[in-house]
């Protein structure tokens, strides 16, 4: 997947519900609210308890639809139909925790009875029906606009009695036992006065320990899969015929299924036809176990037939619906799949683990006027009655389930062919065919590039790229059918900025790299996800550098990937690249900047360490050796080690297994006229400058350059001890030394003051190459944050960058000053800081001007918008006036703004704009259908200064006018504006339930939370935030909250330490 892997969906809603439920059950007030009703249940329980069958013999049955709960006799049926379960309802009911919900109530005793036998009460049935109605409206994809739908958590509190009883019905024996053990444990911990948090933690731990991968006694070889979506009713039906191999005698088959209803099952082998006696679902493990009641012998080849139905959900995962507009503006829907990491199981019952590979014959039944796509080309099409058509696709190679894809909708496309004969198509919204041209050009060139690079041909006959209107991640590498967010693939020549075009090239390069690295060779388990993502995030730069050398993309790697990774990885709450993960909710959490950015950064370091030729040889060895198979991190090291004869595994293990990275401190001593001795020390770098808790040692490949040859390498060596001495020959007294030339090593450098003094003039003269100027300033700001240097001193050094010309170096300076800007927003120094900023940025702005020059280089175009936007926020009157004038002629149509400068001008008018300006911007938003332009306008809205208008921006973000996938970014724009900071946080506190319901936990919400809170700078705020999230737990955001709270405390310490000196410096400069 592409970074911005925005996760969200029902799974986290389930957790939300569960946790909410746990908290709710301790809430006696809520209990009181239901007490009358429960009293009634208790009565019923006492009367009927003696007739209850033992819990673990009860069949699995839940009322499939409202009102059929009178059929209590069916609970003994073993027919498959009786096993059928509406998975969504089941999910609510089965949770063992909801059994616990009743632990403080006498009604708990009643749970060993079957619901219908137990409570024939009309009142119960009535409430239960109401519950199912309400539950459908919260969980079954009610429109996002329908924000008054009840929250899952509230609903579950309200219907505690119903949940407890239905769960008793369906909890399988073992889970039930566990639930009771948990109950006992909980009772005990109550007695020991443990805190509620500790209990939750204990249960979470217990839950983690329970996760198991699928059994390997039965494995699939080949799936036939038929899917028929109903694009009006938002449901789908499906059939699958799986050729399975029974490897050990067994009477049951366990596979993954979630939120789908398995309607029928039949297993055929050696003239035997078996139907399961029951299907046992585990919502916790997202599995279904087919229990056949008869042993299937080993070494049996069988055919497993299943039919199923599901909802075409609106959660952007599994098989979901994506909204678009028809020619007359009417709402229409496409059916789209997004399976990574573990959501194929929401579409069809399958062995949904990356290592359980199989081949697939996919068939779609769709309305005859819709485009139907899948991984492989169409093999055959037939017309069916009722305006339908059946599309059969060719057989796929052996592959993992998370890479299976289908799309059904209305699209136009452009087509091309790569040099080596692969058909490439880019599908766009209807009428926007030409917007696919750029991606087509990139993709057709990228395929042969990788073919040469890996020395392995692309294994499929076609490659489709498609723009999807509702898409949570940036892009997804489904084999042969890559899906993209519209802004990550469509280029409108008049309205697309250069920056966007560049990221589209990178995204296309990333996804196509996965076709080999990820699809052909796949990680054995999600613990090794970083291999896929780190590698693709590295190689996308390699390929864009090859296709567009003018982008100078490698220098941008450092600001886009490397420094962002260092920033996050210096926190105590970071994590190692390689994380043992089990349950899907843990897997979702690791699609983060550590897997992508740090992963790519350490691979870049390794690439540099072993050299391009050996790296390539090693890659070929790895991909050839493991093609169509699965690997662990060590397999890659082995191949690269064989190719390079260097100790790859030894060097790399410290980088993948420890969290964080070292800071290398260097001191020097000149010995004689031509000899310099360097003394190096490594220790773990911590953002707050404290001593590291753990004792870590890295094997650091170090290189050094000197003023004799600034672009060459004077010496390389491995620092694998806490400290060492190195001698450099041919270095004279006045020569400077630069550690980590090219900013390739994943570490920070701390120079002695004499070494730094020698380096700074080389910066001012631009003798040091751009990446070294960049690395130096970034390291210096990190030292400031950690309290190893003073802000005022580093700002004085920034002066050496006044003549800087390189875009990427300016990006690094800007990033550091933006952090400082946030700190200063908590003081009264803002006007002084603005003056400092204007002085720093004005010379480069004057050099560039507003108008692009003919044949101007790519980076200058990017630099212009960067610098002018900064000057807008530093309140440069000249720039603001000019921007306003340009905006006027843009709006009137006399002189449209180039896309690269629109953000600058939008911000200039909005910054001090009134309601009229605000409305004008909204009109612009409403008059464009280009997603990119909508993004640009809606994110600029956050820079208004008027808090009332900022509040309107938030309302706008939450209105149906902004797609759910985008509204988080609009609120973030408000939150990072110091004027909107407190209001946005208040908004969040008041509306956190609504937001949780909207985003169902997950990545989008984590991102919002990060920006809402990390810019505070007082201990009081840190505590407030901590307490808020303790009381309002948001599943999947735990790590983000701890990271952000850590950042608040860093800000507070930084301000306390440096405020006086900073104020003295800014007042003088
Ligand atoms: Zn990826």
Q: Which of 16-20, 437-441, 705-709, 915-919 has the lowest mean pLDDT?
A: 16-20
Neighbours of 1056 (CB within 10 A): 12
Task: Record the pTM.
Answer: 0.77
Ligand 1 centre distance from Cα of residue 476 (Å)? 7
Q: Which of 251, 252, 258, 313 is nearest to 282 (CA)?
A: 258
pLDDT confidence of residue 637? 94
Is the model's pLDDT at 695 over the cut of 60?
Answer: yes
Going by pLDDT thresholds of 50, 70 and 90, the confidence category of residue 425 is: very high
What domains can be seen in the chain, in order of their start residue? 211-407 (2.60.40.1730), 521-659 (1.10.390.10), 663-777 (2.60.40.1910)
CA distances from 118 to 51, 94, 986 (A): 9, 18, 47
Q: What pLDDT, on the 0 to 100 scale, is given for residue 126?
A: 52
Say if residue 938's pLDDT is above 50.
yes
1049, pLDDT greater than 60: yes
Which long-range contacts link 925-930 to residues 24+ away (Cβ below 8 Å)? Answer: 925/961, 926/961, 928/495, 930/490, 930/492, 930/495
- Going from the Cα of 587 to the center of ligand 1, the distance in angstroms, rounded, reads 14
Residue 466 pLDDT exceeds 50? yes
| Radius of gyration over every alpha carbon of the chain, rounded to an integer in angstroms | 30
CA of 518 to the centre of ligand 1 (A): 8
What is the distance in A from the centroid of ligand 1 to the CA of 836? 40
Confidence of residue 990 (pLDDT cuts 50, 70, 90): very high
The owner of tokens 């003295």 is: 1064
Q: What's the CA gap between 707 and 197, in Å, rounded? A: 57
**Overall average pLDDT of the 978-989 stretch:** 95
User: Residue 877, exposed/middle/buried by CB under 10 A (0-12, 13-18, 19+)?
Assistant: exposed
- In this structure, the number of other CB atoms found within 10 A of the CB of residue 853 comes to 10
- According to DSSP, residue 897 is labeled P
Q: What angle do CA 421, 426, 430 make, to 5 degrees?
A: 145
Residue 523 has pLDDT above 80, yes or no: yes
Our CA dihedral for 287, 288, 291, 296, rounded to 10 degrees, sits at: -70
Tell me the mean pLDDT in the region 753-781. Answer: 92
89 vs 461, higher pLDDT: 461
Residue 1026, pLDDT score: 95
State yes or no: pLDDT of 13 exceeds 70.
no
Confidence band for 60, pLDDT divided at 50, 70 and 90: very low
DSSP 138: H
pLDDT of 181 > 70? The answer is: no
CA of 10 to the centre of ligand 1 (A): 22
Out of 31-35, 610-614, 643-647, which region has the weakest mean confidence (pLDDT)?
Answer: 31-35
Q: Which residue has the higher pLDDT, 222 or 11?
A: 222
Q: Exposure string (b/e) for 774-795, b if CB count within 10 Å is 16 or more?
A: bbbbbbbbbbbbbbebbbbbbb
Alpha carbon distance 1012, 1029 (integer Å): 13
Exposure pattern of 913-945 as b/e (b: 16+ CB <10 Å)?
Answer: beeebbeebbebbeeeebbbbbbbbbbbbbbbe
Q: Which residues, at least 6 apart from 1035, have a Cβ–Cβ distance to it below 8 Å?
A: 12, 15, 16, 19, 585, 1001
Kind of pairing between the strands at 481-485 and 462-468: parallel
Mean pLDDT within 279-299? 92
Using the mean position of ligand 1's atoms as its centre, give its distance from the Cα of residue 815 in Å: 25
Query: Which structure tokens are listed for 632?
Result: 């662990």
pLDDT (tens digit per residue) in 478-521: 999 999 999 999 999 889 998 999 999 999 999 999 999 999 99
| Residues 883, 877 contacting (CB under 8 angstroms) | no
When pLDDT is averaged across residues 951-960 and rounded to a whole number, the result is: 92
In the reported structure, the alpha carbon of residue 343 is separated from the centroid of ligand 1 by a whole-number distance in angstroms of 16
Which band of pLDDT confidence, cut at 50, 70 and 90, is reported for residue 241?
very high
Maximum separation of any 2 CA atoms in the chain, in Å: 101
Instruction: At 95, give phi and psi (nearest 5°).
Output: -60, 120
What is the average pLDDT across 625-646?
Answer: 94
Q: Of 92, 76, 66, give the one whose Cα is nearest residue 165.
A: 92
Mean pLDDT lowest among 293-297, 396-400, 747-751, 794-798: 794-798
Give the rounded distance of the alpha carbon of 99 from its chain centre. Answer: 33
CA of 788 to the centre of ligand 1 (A): 37
Active site annotation includes 232:
no
Question: Among the listed ranges 62-76, 775-789, 826-840, which one has the minimum average pLDDT value?
Answer: 62-76
Res 852 pLDDT > 90? no
What is the pLDDT of the chain when averaged over all its residues? 82
Q: Is 510 known to sit in a ligand binding site? A: yes
Ligand 1 geometric centre to CA of 591 (Å): 9
Query: Residue 424 has which token pair?
Result: 């490439």
What are 999-1019's pLDDT values in tens digits? 765 667 888 899 999 999 999
Sheet of 300-311: strand order equals 272-274, 260-269, 300-311, 235-246, 218-230, 359-367, 388-393, 378-384
Q: Is the pLDDT at 187 greater than 80, yes or no? A: no
Per-residue confidence (pLDDT) for residue 183, from 0 to 100: 32
**Contact residues for 1065 (Cβ-Cβ < 8 A; gap 6+):** 791, 792, 795, 796
> Rounded distance, CA 990 to CA 7, Å?
23
Give the Å distance between the CA of 1043 and the centre of ligand 1: 24
If pLDDT is split at 50, 70 and 90, which confidence band does 988 have? very high
pLDDT top residue among 660 and 167: 660
Cα of 400 from ligand 1 centre, angstroms? 15
Residue located via tokens 């060993």: 112
Task: Give the pLDDT band of residue 1036 (cuts 50, 70, 90).
Answer: confident
The pLDDT assigned to 1001 comes to 56
Among 277, 477, 486, 511, the active-site one is 511
Per-residue pLDDT at 626 = 94
274: alpha, beta or left? (left if phi > 0; alpha if psi -120 to 50): beta
Measured in angstroms, how far is the CA atom of residue 593 from the centroid of ligand 1? 12
By C-alpha distance, which of 499, 874, 562 is closest to 746?
A: 562
User: Residue 33 has what pLDDT?
Assistant: 42
* pLDDT for position 275: 95
- Please give the average per-residue pLDDT across 554-571, as a whole number: 91
φ and ψ of 268, to 5 deg: -110, 130
Q: How far is the CA of 484 from the centre of ligand 1 (A)?
A: 12
Q: Estimate the crossing angle of helix 915-926 against helix 947-958, to 10 degrees.
A: 20
- Separation of CA 650 and ligand 1 centre (Å): 26
- 40 is an annotated ligand-binding site residue: no
């Amino acid at each position: 997947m592409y970074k911005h892997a925005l996760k969200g969906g029902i799974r986290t809603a389930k957790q939300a519900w569960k946790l909410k439920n746990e908290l709710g059950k301790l809430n006696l007030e809520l209990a009181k609210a239901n007490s009358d009703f429960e009293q009634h249940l208790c009565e019923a329980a006492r009367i009927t308890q003696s007739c209850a069958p033992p819990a673990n013999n009860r069949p699995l049955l839940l009322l499939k639809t409202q009102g059929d709960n009178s059929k209590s006799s069916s609970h003994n049926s073993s027919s498959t139909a009786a096993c059928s379960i509406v998975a969504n309802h089941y999910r609510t009911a089965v949770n063992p925790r909801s059994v616990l919900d009743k632990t403080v109530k006498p009604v708990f005793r009643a749970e060993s009875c079957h619901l219908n036998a137990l409570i024939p009460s009309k009142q119960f049935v009535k409430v239960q029906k109401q519950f199912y109605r309400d539950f459908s409206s919260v969980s079954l994809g009610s429109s996002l606009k329908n924000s008054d739908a009840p929250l899952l958590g509230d609903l579950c509190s309200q219907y505690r009695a119903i949940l407890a009883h239905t769960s008793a019905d369906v909890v399988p024996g073992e889970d039930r036992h566990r639930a009771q053990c948990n109950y006992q444990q909980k009772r005990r911990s109550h007695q020991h006065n443990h805190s509620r948090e500790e209990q939750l933690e204990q249960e979470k731990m217990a839950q983690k320990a329970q996760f198991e991968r699928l059994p390997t006694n039965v494995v699939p070889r080949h799936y036939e899969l038929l899917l028929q979506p109903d694009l009006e009713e938002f449901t789908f039906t499906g059939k699958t015929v799986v050729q399975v191999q029974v490897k050990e005698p067994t009477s049951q088959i366990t596979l993954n299924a979630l939120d789908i209803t398995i309607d029928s099952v039949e297993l055929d082998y050696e003239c035997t036809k078996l139907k399961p006696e029951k299907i046992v679902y585990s919502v916790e493990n997202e599995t279904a176990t087919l229990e056949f009641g008869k042993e299937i012998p080993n070494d049996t080849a069988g055919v497993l037939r299943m039919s199923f139905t599901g909802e075409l959900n609106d959660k952007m995962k599994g098989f979901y619906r994506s909204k678009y507009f028809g020619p007359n503006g009417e709402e229409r829907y496409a059916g789209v799949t997004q399976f990574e990491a573990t959501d194929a199981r929401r579409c069809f019952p399958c062995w949904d683990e990356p290592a359980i590979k199989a081949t697939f014959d996919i068939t779609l039944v769709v309305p005859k006027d819709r485009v139907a796509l899948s991984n492989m080309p169409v093999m055959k099409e037939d017309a069916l009655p009722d305006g339908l058509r059946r599309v059969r696709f060719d057989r796929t190679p052996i592959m993992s389930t998370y890479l299976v894809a289908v799309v059904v909708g209305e699209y136009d496309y452009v087509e091309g062919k790569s040099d080596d004969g692969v058909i490439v198509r880019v599908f766009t919204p209807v009428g926007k065919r030409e917007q696919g041209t750029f991606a087509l050009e990139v993709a057709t060139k990228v395929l042969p590039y990788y073919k040469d690079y890996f020395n392995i041909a692309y294994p499929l006959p076609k490659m489709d790229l498609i723009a999807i209107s509702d898409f949570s991640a940036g892009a997804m590498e489904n084999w042969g059918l890559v899906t993209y967010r519209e802004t990550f693939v469509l280029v409108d020549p008049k309205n697309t900025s250069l920056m966007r075009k560049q990221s589209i090239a990178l995204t296309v390069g990333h996804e196509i790299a996965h076709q080999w690295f990820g699809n052909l060779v796949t990680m054995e388990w999600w613990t090794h996800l970083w291999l896929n993502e780190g590698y693709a995030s590295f190689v996308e730069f390699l390929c864009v550098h090859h296709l567009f050398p003018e982008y100078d993309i490698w220098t941008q790697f450092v600001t886009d990937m490397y420094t962002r990774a260092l920033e996050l990885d210096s926190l105590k709450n970071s994590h190692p690249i390689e994380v043992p993960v089990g349950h899907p909710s843990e897997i979702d959490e690791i699609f983060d900047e550590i897997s992508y950015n740090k992963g790519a950064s350490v691979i870049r370091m390794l690439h540099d360490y072993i050299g391009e030729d050996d790296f390539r040889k090693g890659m070929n060895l790895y991909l050839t050796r493991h093609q169509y198979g699965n690997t662990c991190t060590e397999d890659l090291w082995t191949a690269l080690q064989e190719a390079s004869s260097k100790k790859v595994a030894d060097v790399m293990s410290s980088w993948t297994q420890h969290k964080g990275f070292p800071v290398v401190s260097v001191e020097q001593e000149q010995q004689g006229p031509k000899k310099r001795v360097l003394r190096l020390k490594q220790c773990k770098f911590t953002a707050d400058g404290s001593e590291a808790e753990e004792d870590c040692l890295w094997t650091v490949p170090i290189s050094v350059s000197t003023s004799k040859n600034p672009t060459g390498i004077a010496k390389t060596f491995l620092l694998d001890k806490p400290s060492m001495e190195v001698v450099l020959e041919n270095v004279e007294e006045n020569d400077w030394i630069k550690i980590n030339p090219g900013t390739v090593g994943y570490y920070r450098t701390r120079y002695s003051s004499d070494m730094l003094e020698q380096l700074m003039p080389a910066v001012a003269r631009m003798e040091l190459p751009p990446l070294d100027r960049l690395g130096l300033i970034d390291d210096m700001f990190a030292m400031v944050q950690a309290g190893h240097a003073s802000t005022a001193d580093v700002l004085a050094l920034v002066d050496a960058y006044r003549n800087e010309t390189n875009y990427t170096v300016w990006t690094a300076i800007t990033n550091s000053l933006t952090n400082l800007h946030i700190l200063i927003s908590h003081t009264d120094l803002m006007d002084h800081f603005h003056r400092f900023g204007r002085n720093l940025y004005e010379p480069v702005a004057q050099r560039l001007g507003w108008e692009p020059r003919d044949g101007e280089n790519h980076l200058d175009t990017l630099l212009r918008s960067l610098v002018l936007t900064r000057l807008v926020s530093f309140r440069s009157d000249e720039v603001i006036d000019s921007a306003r004038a340009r905006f006027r002629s843009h709006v009137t149509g006399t002189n449209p703004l180039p896309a690269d400068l629109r953000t600058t001008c939008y911000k200039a008018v909005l910054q001090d704009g009134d309601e009229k300006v605000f409305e004008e911007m909204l009109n612009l938003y409403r008059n464009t259908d280009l997603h990119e332009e909508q993004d640009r306008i809606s994110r600029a809205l956050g820079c208004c200064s008027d808090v009332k208008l900022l509040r309107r921006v938030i309302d706008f973000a939450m209105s149906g006018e902004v797609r759910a996938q985008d509204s988080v970014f609009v609120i973030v724009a408000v939150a990072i504006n110091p004027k909107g900071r407190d209001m946005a946080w208040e908004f969040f506190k008041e509306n956190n339930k609504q937001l949780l319901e909207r985003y169902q936990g997950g990545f989008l919400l984590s991102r919002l939370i990060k920006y809402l809170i990390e810019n505070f700078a007082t201990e009081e705020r840190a505590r407030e935030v901590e307490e808020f999230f303790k009381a309002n737990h948001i599943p999947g955001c735990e790590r983000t909250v701890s990271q952000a709270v850590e950042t608040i405390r860093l800000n507070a310490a930084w301000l306390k330490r440096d405020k006086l000196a900073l104020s003295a410096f800014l007042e003088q400069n």
